[in-house]
Amino acid sequence: MIRVLIADDHTILRHGLVSLLSKDDCIQVVAEAADGLEAVSKALELKPTVIVIDISMPGLNGMEAVKRLNGQLPDTKVLVLTMHEEQEYVIHMVRAGASGYLLKDSASDELIDAVKALAAGKTYYSQYAASVLASQYNQPAENWQDPYKNLTNREREVFHLIIEGKTTKEIARSLDISVKTAENHRGKVLDKLNVANAAELVRYAAKNNLLL
């Protein structure tokens, strides 16, 4: 039985994916998650065979969630299911550790095939994603670097809360840390990314396709 976790912040879509995958006798949906942090937490608890995850999610985006999952659950395979077809997203997600990449307008049968392929230890990329990866292999671009640079996991969480418009107090409450600790993390994020304030951080996020 292929045990699957589905992570997407759109409730109707997530429930639709659960219904679709559950119709296959070989697949069991063991959990759902509405944001990146919940996806990581439930994955660590349940250790599913395959995780189907979106890129654009609150709290912790799919890119960072995949990076953490790849490091902590190397035997769990990650399939990205997203509306983002820009080549930057494909390359960043594969470098983060994704074993598959599909667009949300893919056929239902293709999603099931992709889940089964990953469960069998293979990779599965849409035709577009495969062409992007082939191009990158043949002509690697020197500028494909981690846009988060050397931010720690906690600082990356703070990064996204800042660009969501959260105040320091709201960040502290969201992460269950003190205001002083939140202030320290906020300062380190700005320093490491060489920006002066939240407005510049939002521009940095936009420039690096991190406004998800």
Q: What is the fold of 2-135? A: Rossmann fold (3.40.50)
φ, ψ for residue 2, nearest 5 deg: -90, 115
**Domain residue limits, the chain:** 2-135, 141-207
Question: Tokens 């939140």, residue?
Answer: 182
Express each pLDDT in 160-184 by its tens digit: 899 988 999 999 998 889 999 999 9
Give me the pLDDT at residue 207, please: 84
Residue 211 pLDDT: 73
CA atoms within 13 A on the CB side of 50: 30
DSSP for the chain, written as a single string:
-EEEEEE-S-HHHHHHHHHHHHTSTTEEEEEEESSHHHHHHHHHHH--SEEEE-S--SSS-HHHHHHHHHHH-TTSEEEEEES---HHHHHHHHHHT-SEEEETTS-HHHHHHHHHHHHTT--EE-HHHHHHHHHHHHS--TT---TTTT--HHHHHHHHHHHTT--HHHHHHHHT--HHHHHHHHHHHHHHTT-SSHHHHHHHHHHTT---
Encoded tokens for 131: 């062409």
Is the confidence at residue 103, as pLDDT, over 60? Answer: yes
For residue range 21-50, list pLDDT tens digits in order: 999 999 999 999 999 989 999 999 999 999
pLDDT at 140: 55
Mean pLDDT of the chain: 90
Residue, of 99 and 160, whose pLDDT is higher: 99
Confidence of residue 63 (pLDDT cuts 50, 70, 90): confident
In this prediction, residue 61 carries a pLDDT of 84
pTM (predicted TM-score): 0.76
Do domains 2-135 and 141-207 share one topology? The answer is no
CA-angle at 64, arms to 61 and 65, nearest 5°: 80
Give the pLDDT band of residue 117 (cuts 50, 70, 90): very high
Asked if residue 110 has pLDDT above 80, the reply is yes
CATH architecture of 141-207: Orthogonal Bundle (1.10)
Q: Is residue 209 very low, low, confident or very high in pLDDT (cuts 50, 70, 90)?
A: confident
The least confident of 37-41, 89-93, 113-117, 166-170 is 89-93
Residue 138 is predicted with a pLDDT of 62
